[in-house]
Every structure is written in C-alpha cells, then in structure tokens.
Structure 1
Amino acid sequence: MQEIKSLLEHVQEGKLSVEEAMAALKELPYKDIGIAKIDHHRELRNGYPEVIYCEGKQLEHIQYIIEEMLKKSNNILATRANPEVYEAVKEVCETAVYHKLARIITIERKKIQLPKTYISVVTGGTSDIPVAEEAAVTAEFLGNRVERVYDVGVAGIHRLFGNLERITGARVIIAVAGMEGALASVVGGLVDKPVLAVPTSIGYGASFNGLSALLCMLNSCASGVSVMNIDNGFGAGYMASMINKL
C-alpha cells in the first residue's frame, strides 16, 4: 500500500506520467524476468521476503535474480549455495556473506529488531550440524536470537540434561537428529514449548537416508512435536521464527 501511495504522489507532483505509474504498478506483485518471477510482495503478505533456492540453478540465473531483488528487497537469503555460487553472487553484490556449514548466502542491508525471546537449535550429533546451521542461520537472518546446543544426543543423554536450562528457556526448540531420530521425542517429553523435529540423512544403511528418523519422529509419543522434511533446516528455521514472533 505504501508503494502505491508513493506512486500516486509522484503522479500528482508530476514526477511520473500516468503511463509510467501504470507500468510500475504492474511490477508490484511480481516481476517476470524471463527465467524467474520475482515475488516483490511476499514480505508484505507473509512478513518475510522471497528466498532463493540455489541448487539446480545456473550461476548467471542466480546473479540475475539477485540483481533484480536488490532493486527492491532490503535483505536477501539464498539457500543450498556452494562456494562457486557464492563467488558468482559476490560479483553482483560485494556485501554478500557466505555461511559455509549452512550453505547459505545472506545479504543484509537493513537491521531487524530482535525479540527478547530466543530459539534453541539442538542436535543429536556433530554430523547433524550442517542441517542445524541451516536452521540457525535462517532464523538469525529473519531476526531472531538463536542458542545452539550441539551434540547432545541420546547415546550420551547426560549431555542433554547438562544443557537443559538453555533448551527449556527458549520459546521454540528445533531438534535435529539422524540415526533413529529419538532426540525429538526425548526433548518433547522434557519441555513445555513447541518442538520442531528435523530428521537428517545421517546414519548407517537401515536409516535409509533419513527415512528411519523421519518415521520415528512422525510416530513420536511426545505431544507438541511437529516434523519437518528430511534435512529441511531452512523450513525449521523459518517456522521457528514465525512461532517466536507471534
């Protein structure tokens, strides 16, 4: 609405013709750039801007999308990005930052006020950290405080109990685990906060690349546990942010 009001004011002041204003209005919902349709209004509708999923995209297409988004978006998040993608993005935006473990590129041009509450990201083992970092970096980018509690899986459950205060103090908890995925159920049985369970594709043969952890989390007997897709740290970070800011 603010953009429409601004366009009308520019027409009244003679800074824009009616034709130019109509052309600008066409681009407000989204802009078709041929290889993609940039959703400029997503932040107005959903509270967060559109996110770029880099895997499978050509480098020049990612560059083109970034260039277009920089014209209107304050902050930009690109997921599943490798170092080659980052180097390509740096060519069009020198301030881009690469989070190697999370495989995320962030461009931050506007600071977001952080709420007092925070999100806890918990992992079963160190092999789960890349997925956990995708969740943590996403949540931080969206304007949240994040407490990382890594390598506290049920194989050494005393490690979980030793960090329980940091976990229970959060407004929402992301539990990331592979193998049999028991961490989410254990955490869910100890806290009075929503738990977002993220199964990872970590484990030996019978884990079926995360399917075992996914099914165990879906069958959790702990109430208040919701389950994301396998390795979907981004989805967990995004959902946790929405819960934390309610």
Structure 2
Amino acid sequence: MINVDNILKRVRSGEMDISEAKRLLLEVQQQQAPSQAAAQATVPQPVQRIDDTLGYAQLDVDRAARTGFPEVIFGEGKTAEQIAAIFQRLMNHTDRVLATRVSPDKAAYVLKQVPAAEYRPDARAVLWLRPGLAAPATDDGYIAVVCAGTSDVPVAEEAAVTAESMGCRVERVFDVGVAGIHRLFRRLPVIRGANAIVVAAGMEGALASVLGGLVSVPVIAVPTSIGYGASFQGIAALLSMLNACAPGISVVNIDNGFGAGYNAALIHKNRLKRDEQ
C-alpha cells in the first residue's frame, strides 16, 4: 500500500529517488482529497443568524453558539426605549442578557419593561438570567477582582458583574492601593488563589505592577479615569500599566471593566476545560 510513511522510508533507504517520491506523494494527495472534502462538509458551520427587525439594531442572536456568550448591550448613546427593546429581543434567543453603562434613569425604564431583570447600580449594569440557570460551583475556582481605591469600584464592579454573568465565581478585593500597601498583603491569599485577576486602578496605576510580581496567574489591568489633572483622565495609569516591568500583565482600555471581566472569564473557563480533560 502506498502511503507517506512508506514513501519516505524507501527514499531514506535509497530504494527510491526524489522525483519518483514526488510523483507518488502527489498521487497520495489526490487520493485523500475526496475524503478530506467529505470530512469538511460534515463539520458544523458556525451559525450566523441576524435579527434586524428592530430597524436600528442588527442583533447577533447566535453569538453565544459561536463564542460561548451572547451579544452584550452597550447602554451609552442608546435611549432607554432602545435598550429595553433590544434586551427583550435578546431574551428570546439566549439564557442571559447583559447591558452595560446603563444610567439609573434608563435602568428604571428597562426594569419596568423587563421586571425579571436586575439593576446593579455600582456596575451600572442590567442583568437577566433565565430562571433555573445553575450557579457556578464553589469548588471550580474563581476570579479575583481587585481595585486600588473606592473611587475605582464602578469599573471593578463592571468587571465582576461581567464575569459573574458568564458563570464565574468572583472574589472582590477592594481598596488595597499602594498608598497603604499593607492592606494588600493581608488579602494576598485570596488573590493568589484565583485563576485570573482583574486589577482596576487610577492615579498612577501602580497596583497592577505590584500584583504582577506577586502572583502566578494572568493579570488583566484596567486603568481608570480617576485622578487629578495630570492623570489625563486615565492616560497616566494606562501608560504606566503598558510599561509595567512585571510580567504576566495585559492591559485593556481606560475604564473598560467589561473587557477585563470578559477576558478573565475566558481564562478561567478555559482552565476549567483543560482540568476536565
């Protein structure tokens, strides 16, 4: 039987020259092509349905099937009516809906339309989970969400709520900035026990560098826009985190708690998958 291993062995032993080997390898490739095409045809194609019936939005209703989590509503710039309508439409397609950056007045309107939803004011997020959705197992590990000061809590909470909506358990460690670094050390056991860490810090953003040198898991740093004039609404913290000398630190955009929480959840959930194998 002609196969690649047989051809290579004969070339190595000197029984076959290079030109003959090339000819036979081409034959093997041509023989395998139909079976490979058939195999590819049986692979499920990613679903990509779009719900465009609202007119002002095209909802990616199958995103959860492709990525593991449904489309998220970004509330800033949308009216309360638009948020509520998109929220209700997504509820028809998935088992959880998250809307971020929703002000209290917009949230009040959304909750009137969707009484089953919950508003998390610290995170400025509206969340709905289908009744009966299983809570994360307490023995499956967790994500640590750490913030430097109380002023950073809204961004940290956005990260925490995002991770929780993705089915992760979250441990919050707040107000442990470098201005009183002894507060951080007493919480290190909790932080070190996490599968991924989110660090939200404004001012000079030093907390991410400090933690990066103390832990063995990925750190996702979130610069916040908290600080005095020369902090430039978070640019100082952003540059500090990007230039951190500690390894293992990734940086998201200013005040992007959602992005940090999402990335931490992906790290955590993929680690659980690996452990199950």
TM-score after normalising by structure 2: 0.77
Following superposition, the deviation at residue 28 of structure 1 comes to 6.2
CA deviation vs aligned residue, 1:12-52 (integer Å, no higher than 9, x gap): xxxxxxxxxxxxxxx96111121100111100010000000
Given that 1:179 and 1:204 are in contact with CA atoms closer than 8 Å, whether structure 2 keeps it comes out as yes
Tell me which of the two structures has the higher relative contact order, counting C-alpha pairs closer than 8 angstroms and 6 or more residues apart: 1
Q: Write the distance in 2 (CA, Å) between the matches of 1:113 and 1:28.
A: 28
CA deviation vs aligned residue, 1:43-76 (integer Å, no higher than 9, x gap): 0010000000011112222222122112222210
Following superposition, the deviation at residue 205 of structure 1 comes to 0.6
Tell me the secondary structure at the aligned position of residue 176 of structure 2: coil
Match of residue 233 from structure 1: 257
Following superposition, the deviation at residue 176 of structure 1 comes to 0.7
- Aligned AA (1:122): V
Q: How many residues align?
A: 220
Match of residue 108 from structure 1: 129
Given that 2:80 and 2:107 are in contact with CA atoms closer than 8 Å, whether structure 1 keeps it comes out as no
Unaligned runs of 5+ in 2: 1-46, 271-277
Q: 1:133 to 1:201 in 2, by over 3 A?
A: same
Moved over 3 A (4+): none
- 2:96 paired residue among 75, 84, 90: 75
Tell me the secondary structure at the aligned position of residue 203 of structure 2: coil
TM-score after normalising by structure 1: 0.87
Q: Write the distance in 2 (CA, Å) between the matches of 1:109 and 1:218.
A: 39
Given that 1:66 and 1:92 are in contact with CA atoms closer than 8 Å, whether structure 2 keeps it comes out as no
Match of residue 181 from structure 1: 205
Q: Write the distance in 2 (CA, Å) between the matches of 1:47 and 1:173.
A: 20
Given that 2:84 and 2:114 are in contact with CA atoms closer than 8 Å, whether structure 1 keeps it comes out as no
- 1:53 paired residue among 67, 74, 80: 74
Alignment map for 1:102-141 (pairs within 5 Å)? 102-110=123-131, 111-115=133-137, 116-141=140-165
Given that 1:173 and 1:194 are in contact with CA atoms closer than 8 Å, whether structure 2 keeps it comes out as yes
Following superposition, the deviation at residue 107 of structure 1 comes to 0.8
CA deviation vs aligned residue, 1:121-177 (integer Å, no higher than 9, x gap): 111111111100000111111101100110111111111111100100000010110
Q: Percent identity?
A: 55
User: Whose radius of gyration is greater, 1 or 2?
Assistant: 2
Q: CA RMSD in A?
A: 1.3
Deviates more, 1:52-61 or 1:205-214: 52-61
Unaligned runs of 5+ in 1: 1-26
